[in-house]
Structure 1
Amino acid sequence: MESREVLGTRLRLLLDLLDDGVTALYTELDLDGFRPRYTPILRHVATEGPSSIRDLARAIGVTHSAASQTVAQLAKEDLVTLSPGADARRRIVHLTPKAEALLPAMAREWEATNAAVAELEAELPYPLSRLVDETLEALRRRPMPDRTTAAAKTQSPS
């Protein structure tokens, strides 16, 4: 089986392995139950102040839907609260005192994770982060649905 045939599966495995390493560190830092997807949102709100979900999505590079889902999880964990924005359709994300108390541990996690990523990338022939950035840019230029549709049209029937 060619590696292209299992690319999605291998990417999920890679993400799982990366997330598992970070999750293990959360336990050491008394951040049990914390999820890697929480960190970018909480760090952004901690450094930039209360933000709309749209602004958070743009700042951390995810879809509005993904940011909204993560914010909903953070609210359930009592890590953020939401208030209406100037436009009733916008919701503004604020840190709770519980989240603010976690910021020092989150900073230690962030530093340790960045050091681990630098070490990992030093072992590779080229930085994984660069390859991910270049792949994302290529998909922005020509999204995967366009690519798969075009490829399906060129395939001969079996």
Structure 2
Amino acid sequence: MAPLPEREAVGTLLRHVLELLDGDVAKVYAERDLADYRPRYSPVVRALLAQGPMPIRDLARTVGVTHSAASQTVAQMNRAGLVDLTPGTDARQRLVSLTTKAHELLPLITAEWSATTAAMRTLDTELSMPLVDLLTELTTALTRRPFRQRITDAGLPTRPPQDRRGESGLP
């Protein structure tokens, strides 16, 4: 097992946790000969199943990611043959819909999602609070007061002082 990042490297630790979680979900798919299926595809599949074809912008909002992230994921899913893209009512808009291939994978995707949800519940019993509750609390706090503001409040000047070495003619 790789050593944990230092305690203050919170961003690194968050990425490490995500890699542990998503990495093992990806292994589940690879073991079932779906190595090109990514864990981040499942929320897209679930949204399209629930609401039908939709523009990437709406899909991003539904899944809770940026437009750019949704667009990249949809492009990868399109290359994997899981979604089709068709022109929308606006020339800038593309509608995303599930392909026959995606529908054929639904039993496995649904089973994995259910098993992953159950596994998350068992993991939560080992934590001081359910992970989703902590992440929701964290998101709410950072929405209320962004981390950038917290950094400034902790004493970092909003603009770094100008380097004045060259002004006096000294190196």
Give the alignment's TM-score, normalised by structure 2. Answer: 0.83
Report whether the alignment pairs 1:144 with 2:147: yes
Gaps of 5+ in 2: 162-171
1:123 maps to amino acid = E
- Three-state SS of the structure 2 residue aligned to 1:132 is helix
Match of 1:97 among 93, 96, 100: 100
- Report the alpha carbon displacement of residue 109 of structure 1 after superposing the two structures with TM: 0.5
- Report the alpha carbon displacement of residue 136 of structure 1 after superposing the two structures with TM: 1.0
Show CA shifts across 1:67-109 (max 9, x none): 1110111111111111111122221101111111111110001
Q: Which residue of 2 aligns with 1:11?
A: 14
Q: Distance in 1 between matches of 2:146 and 2:94?
A: 29
Report whether the alignment pairs 1:153 with 2:161: no
Gaps of 5+ in 1: none
Q: Which residue of 1 aligns with 2:168?
A: none
Contact 2:77 2:83 in 1 (8 A): yes
Report whether the alignment pairs 1:58 with 2:65: no
Show CA shifts across 1:97-154 (max 9, x none): 1111111110001000000000000111111100101111112222223333443129
Runs of 4+ that moved beyond 6 A? none
How many pairs does the alignment contain?
A: 154
Query: Which of structures 1 and 2 has the bigger CA Rg?
Result: 2
Match of 2:118 among 105, 115, 119: 115
Residue identity (%): 53
- Three-state SS of the structure 2 residue aligned to 1:92 is strand
Match of 2:42 among 39, 42, 55: 39
- Three-state SS of the structure 2 residue aligned to 1:93 is strand
Q: Distance in 2 between matches of 1:29 and 1:49?
A: 27
Q: Distance in 1 between matches of 2:115 and 2:12?
A: 27
Q: Which residue of 2 aligns with 1:124?
A: 127
After superposition, the CA RMSD in angstroms is 1.9
